[in-house]
């Protein structure tokens, strides 16, 4: 019964919250299904459902396997933010490569068509390496299930919920690739690849400059910054936490509000993250770890400076200025 409930939970999350965010983040890999096709010809349209089906099958297999591993081993097999950032950059480079191939493809002649059925499931499986914000939430549910069956069930349900949108997008891209709009699709894919690389760089914090004061107390992924998180926004009962300075941040679909908050330096700080909508911001990466919202993050006393945090996909960021 637990597996059935988790399957239904994942299916609902995929249909309601995962469709838009995941197709936007992971849809660039679908361009790989078009980069080796001929323009025109009778064989092209007939292969569209097959290739998209292989893509979805690869995606389903990788997500179910990841869910089973997470349920079996827990958070020990979860990728840290810095590793995800590197994978995002690599995925963005792959999408850019596919986009360039689509833009440079000659109108006559094509690459070996027989490669496509083999590459389609690999591209689908690779989407697990580019998790959208809702995917991260489902992975945490898989971890908390404590069983391989439960973890696989919630991730399978999530993939099934997002499958219609991916199928439609894949079919549209395949059709467009054989028309004069192919170059426009290539430009859009190029932009998606650059955006994915930028998200990875943002998640890694490699080019981020702190807001506010010039000193830096820490950044997402900083190994020297200790802290703890309490789900649901509940505070601990320790005396040190009772005297902590509290700041509140709302996670919305469009970012964190307020984007910049001020806290007192030299005293413990509680950051109360409240959730105003499901999306990328529902998972925050702060102090080198992922936290599912709503939650309260407890930080030790910080020196004057700024702490940067980002959503689980590096799309939105916020700052806490300590003074």
User: What confidence tens digit (pLDDT) does each residue in 162-219 have?
Assistant: 999 888 888 887 777 777 777 787 888 888 888 888 988 988 888 765 444 433 334 4
Tens-digit pLDDT profile for residues 218-271: 443 343 344 556 655 444 444 344 467 899 999 998 889 999 999 999 999 999
DSSP 233-269: TPPP--HHHHT-EEEEEEEETTEEESSEEEE-TTS-E
Residue 60, SS3 per DSSP:
helix
CB 8 within 8 A of CB 154: no
Identify the bridge partners of residue 311 per DSSP, sorted by sequence position: 284
Distances in Å between the Cα of 48 and the Cα atoms of 42, 122, 163, 192 are 11, 16, 15, 22
Give the mean pLDDT of the chain: 78
Share of the chain above pLDDT 90, in %: 21
Measure the CA dihedral 21/319/274/314, to 10°: 20
Domains of the chain: 2-204 (no CATH), 216-322 (2.60.40.420)
Please enumerate in sequence order all residues whose Cβ is within 8 A of that of 51, keeping only pairs 6 or more positions apart, or say none.
Answer: 33, 116, 117, 120, 170, 174
129-174 pLDDT, tens digit each = 777 777 877 888 888 888 899 999 999 999 999 999 888 888 887 7
**pLDDT tops 80 at residue 107:** no
Residue that wins the pLDDT comparison between 40 and 118: 118
How far is it, in rounded angstroms, from Cα 77 to Cα 179?
43
pLDDT score of 235: 43
What CA–CA distance (Å, rounded) separates 158 from 134? 9
β-partners of residue 248 are 272
Between CA 274 and CA 258 the distance in angstroms is 12
Classify residue 17 by its DSSP letter. I
- The pLDDT of residue 229 is 61
> Binning pLDDT at 50, 70 and 90, where does residue 116 land?
low
Q: Is the pTM of this model over 0.85?
A: no
């Amino acid at each position: 019964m637990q597996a059935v409930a988790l399957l239904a939970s994942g299916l609902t999350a995929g249909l309601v919250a995962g469709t838009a965010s995941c197709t936007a983040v992971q849809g660039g890999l679908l361009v790989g299904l078009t980069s080796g096709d001929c323009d025109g010809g009778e064989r092209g349209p007939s292969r569209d459902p097959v290739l998209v089906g292989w893509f979805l099958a690869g995606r389903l297999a990788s997500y179910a396997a990841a869910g089973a591993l997470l349920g079996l081993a827990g958070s020990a097999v979860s990728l840290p933010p810095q590793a995800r950032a590197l994978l995002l950059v690599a995925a963005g480079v792959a999408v850019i490569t596919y986009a360039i191939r689509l833009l440079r493809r000659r109108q006559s002649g094509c690459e070996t068509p027989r490669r496509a059925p083999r590459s389609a499931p690999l591209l689908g499986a690779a989407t697990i390496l580019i998790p959208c914000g809702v995917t991260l939430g489902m992975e945490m549910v898989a971890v908390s299930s404590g069983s391989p069956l439960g973890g696989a069930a919630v991730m399978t349900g999530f993939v099934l919920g997002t499958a219609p949108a991916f199928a439609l997008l894949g079919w549209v891209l395949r059709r467009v690739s054989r028309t004069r709009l192919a170059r426009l699709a290539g430009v859009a894919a190029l932009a998606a690849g650059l955006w994915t690389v930028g998200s990875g760089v943002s998640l890694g914090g490699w080019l981020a400059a702190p807001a506010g004061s010039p000193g830096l107390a820490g950044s997402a992924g900083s190994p020297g910054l200790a802290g703890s998180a309490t789900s649901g926004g509940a505070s601990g009962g320790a005396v040190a936490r009772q005297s902590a300075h509290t700041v509140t941040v709302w996670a919305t679909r469009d970012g964190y509000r307020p984007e910049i908050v001020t806290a007192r330096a030299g005293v413990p700080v509680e950051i109360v993250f409240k959730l105003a909508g499901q999306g990328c911001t529902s998972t925050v990466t702060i102090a080198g770890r992922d936290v599912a919202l709503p939650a309260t993050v407890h930080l030790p006393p910080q020196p004057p400076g700024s702490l940067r945090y980002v959503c689980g996909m590096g799309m939105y960021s916020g700052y806490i200025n300590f003074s």
